[in-house]
Structure 1
């Protein structure tokens, strides 16, 4: 029970808008494009003030899912959790593109019972049956957080780019492992399976520790959820978006957040 509460508390923090939270979540690979018949890639994951600078807290990887090019689930190796970052390795044994994602979904609710305010946390499927019969003043919020990156062995493939229909997800038009400085790349965002229009996407290049200018840009998705980025220079980039929907009628409110880490080559 304590573990579940800790996971959902972390989920709530990840789903919060950036204006209310200084710490940024990231899942960064040591390389994104590799050659040969097999290869190894290392990953670091954390919550920090500066992007890719482990200075605040390690990421909880309870929701880590690695999808191999053939659609199967690959296993991380050598997992550790240090004070400021979590780390693991991935052995690439299939040609094509892998998706590495840390996904957390849940529901948080407050309600009144016998004049006392109480809280409930759990999975959306268990709500509202888990609430007592006399519960009133119910306020519920569904939360969904997805943090992911992509790595390719050999030629890029697209089999891992599926839309799960839950939460905020990225649908590449330009392959995320085929990015070059000075070139434009296009992606789409969908929320709960529907095009996410009018959503602000923040793009920031890593390595800000020794720069006065954070070098961030913001773009807004179009009616079909699409947005285009022209990469100013090579480097590792962090993309973030969030969508908040108020409750309407019998529905619950929802907070969804998405983070991607992509490498732009010269």
Structure 2
């Protein structure tokens, strides 16, 4: 296995699902009353919003309008997807985030055979065979996001933290409508990411001869502007590789997905 074949979804999922894009989708993106339950789908698939592989919801987090983490009431992992439920008690915007600690894979070659260990650089030293060659460790971090707004929008859960790969929007997610532009800004550890490749797709892909995916690239300031052509649910996905700290890993891979809803004009 070569490093370029590293599967982007590994940070979230088991090896069985790692070839697929991971996303988080709430049953509703906007609600008109508080003390309302939502259901959240956590899954992975090759086609947009077509569930395929189960993804654990153990690392699903809910942040309230004040930015503080709240409780996920329950979650269940099925054969094709996981489902979670949460009670949104107050007005404002909530952040759903599937994320966890970095995962590590150490790749090496033994003779003519390529192998890997699910260990960081330091841990792998004791496990590597003496004749191992072409040793390299990859750190993988993934994040899947969605935002839900009850009555009026708030901004605290939308703010970047300065850690990892992040995205911010020029308008509130609850205010995105068809045929109106919205700008996305991507940062890595707080710094803009230029020339970042981003894919945008929307629901119903299974029923179109042309999937309708847009392949976009950020400008020098890490920004890209798009104008959704139709209302519906959208999936934004991106990722990048670069150098790691050299202590636990030689390389790092950061992955990010965001689902959002585009309203009618």
Query: Which 10-residue stretch deviates more, 77-86 or 131-140?
Result: 131-140
User: Which residue of structure 2 aligns with residue 225 of structure 1?
Assistant: 222
User: Which residue of structure 2 aligns with residue 262 of structure 1?
Assistant: 260
Distance 1:240 1:130, change over 3 A: same
Q: Is the 8 A contact 2:9 2:255 kept in 1?
A: no
Matched, 1:170 2:167: yes
2:197 to 200, 221, 237: 200
Aligned residues: 248
Q: Secondary structure at the match of 1:177?
A: helix
Matched, 1:132 2:130: no
Distance 2:42 2:81 in 1: 5
User: Which residue of structure 2 aligns with residue 59 of structure 1?
Assistant: 55
Distance 1:9 1:182 in 2: 31
Q: Is the 8 A contact 2:176 2:263 kept in 1?
A: yes
2:76 to 60, 77, 80: 80
Distance 2:97 2:11 in 1: 17
Q: Is the 8 A contact 2:146 2:258 kept in 1?
A: yes
Matched, 1:142 2:139: yes
Distance 1:166 1:111, change over 3 A: farther
Distance 1:230 1:98, change over 3 A: same
User: Which residue of structure 1 aligns with residue 250 of structure 2?
Assistant: 252
TM-score by length of 1: 0.82
User: Which residue of structure 2 aligns with residue 214 of structure 1?
Assistant: 211
User: Which residue of structure 1 aligns with residue 152 of structure 2?
Assistant: 155
**Deviation string, structure 1 residues 130-169 (Cα, Å, up to 9, x no partner):** 7339977541111111111010111111101233333311
Matched, 1:190 2:187: yes
Distance 1:231 1:166, change over 3 A: same
Q: Is the 8 A contact 1:38 1:153 kept in 2?
A: no
Matched, 1:69 2:65: yes
TM-aligned CA deviation for residue 89 of structure 1: 1.5
Q: Is the 8 A contact 2:57 2:77 kept in 1?
A: no
Which consecutive residues of structure 1, in runs of 5 or more, have no partner in the other structure? 1-7, 15-19
Q: Post-superposition, which runs of at least 4 consecutive aligned residues in structure 1 deviate over 6 A?
A: 133-136, 247-251
Distance 1:12 1:133 in 2: 22
User: Which residue of structure 2 aligns with residue 121 of structure 1?
Assistant: 118
Distance 1:171 1:157 in 2: 14
TM-score by length of 2: 0.82
Query: Which 10-residue stretch deviates more, 164-173 or 64-73?
Result: 164-173
Q: Secondary structure at the match of 2:206?
A: helix
Q: Is the 8 A contact 1:204 1:217 kept in 2?
A: yes
Q: Is the 8 A contact 1:167 1:257 kept in 2?
A: no
User: Which residue of structure 1 aligns with residue 4 of structure 2?
Assistant: none
